Structure 1
Amino acid sequence: MKKVKLIECPRDAMQGIKSHFISTESKAQYINALLRVGFDTIDFGSFVSPKAIPQMRDTVEVLSKLDLSKTESKLLAIVANIRGAEEASKFEEITYLGYPFSISENFQMRNTSKTIAESIEILNEILNIATKTNKEVVAYLSMGFGNPYGDPWNVEIVSNWTDKLSKMGVKILSLSDTVGSSTPKIIDYLFSNLIPAYPTIEFGAHLHTTPTSWFEKVDAAYKAGCNRFDGAIMGYGGCPMAKDDLTGNMPTEKLVSYFNQQKATTNINAMSFESAYNEALKIFL
């Protein structure tokens, strides 16, 4: 049976909630429930400016309350600069440093207040920090499937950046459908061409979707050879800059259902997933 890695992203789901601050206890309780499900990785928090993402200002406190004694899931934290990477790398519990790298100059400035040239330098230093501290870097290629900001975009640009990141030492590259603009045709083309061309890279799909388009996107990526998928229970979160209010993260329950039908191995425990789903209802509804 084909093995698929599912990455659950409560950080992505929670960070956009601005109406209230989710208590540290509630976050920890939810993430602890997720840790019992069998996900490959939990994208649990971020080491970024609290002014930029106030909802994630308690990431260190949340981390201290997580029970990692009975889980095989690994923890990923998002970092946006060198200082964040240095801070995150101090914690033995964290395996992955996630860095959002956009091939859109406009979006890179909006997201990290850095140019692409500056961002590449930061990524290079983060890779050095990761090597020294025994961490791994997950690079997110934002705007990987299209660009709504008028910047040049085509599959050759994506391929060229993949080549550059590969030569820098990136081993895990998640193509990110930042504003939900991907189509099955583009998804299929990119993964079916990039995966065989870069055998040392583990490619992932961070897809944003509407409630009606999730299947065609997942199906295209999986059949093109992608075996790493990001999701969030009930599809909460996603990019606040998406044009469509219905565009959100890929719903994890849809991913689980799809891969069960495909008879792929995900290591998801159904009862534990139901418990985590119920915890999500307390957080998001």
Structure 2
Amino acid sequence: MKFQYRPSETRGGADHGWLKTFHTFSFANYYDEDFEQFGALRVINEDRVAPKTGFPTHPHREAEIFSYIISGELSHKDSMGNVETMVRGDIQMTSGGRGIAHSEYNDHESKQTHFLQIWALPSQRGLTPGYYTRHFTDEEKTDVLKLIVAPVGTEGVTEEREGKSVTPIHSPLHFFASLLSPSTNVKHTILPPTPASRKPDEKLVYVQLVQSSGYNTSKAKKDGQGPLVKITSRAGDEVTLGEGDGVFVRGGKVGEELAMENVGGARGEIVLFEMDA
């Protein structure tokens, strides 16, 4: 495996007043030729939306778009007739396919909304648009790496609008989350590629430590008071993430392990993406 560390402060983004956002990949007015996408992963925006504001109705197509709610409330409305208010633990997947339009608002009177907005490229074009919601409690994610999203066709994944299964996605992408306590570790084992993989002997992984303690455009604090997640491979590669930091992992082989240990002083929220190369 080969690690590429991405410090939080090198992410793109902006403070628009009503919206404070970080961009892991090129988005809106932020462009970096080195960070346009990673496998099927095209967008990870860490957004904070002020009360009574949000994103007005806008179109999407040929993208799998999902929101992972960290705190606050997010109200969704779309051209398929779906109306939903999401809270912490909720995940909402919109399969854009041939085209949809939606809006996302923080309708709360006083509380900010903090969420990850994630886009992935679909495995095929021209899909019928779809909408799915799931809920995963903090208990389900505490000190384990919980599978949240998996490709359609994966055993146990159903395409019901609501349900108890893992969230379906029409993309070769798995998404995991963990609430990791201090002095605790979890391990991720590289999964087999999807049948359509062009490089079946190589997998991609991206891990990010959510910036849970508050909006901060400076270098992630690593004083030991907050969460610090040390990530190591069996071959000895190692990196330590502060809040907002991420690491791109290339060259993963099926069955290899990534170990993640919280060496800091507070619980941290980890998100992990695994994709075909």
Q: Normalized against structure 2, the TM-score is what?
A: 0.32
Q: Normalized against structure 1, the TM-score is what?
A: 0.32
Structure with the higher helix share, 1 or 2: 1
Structure with the higher strand share, 1 or 2: 2
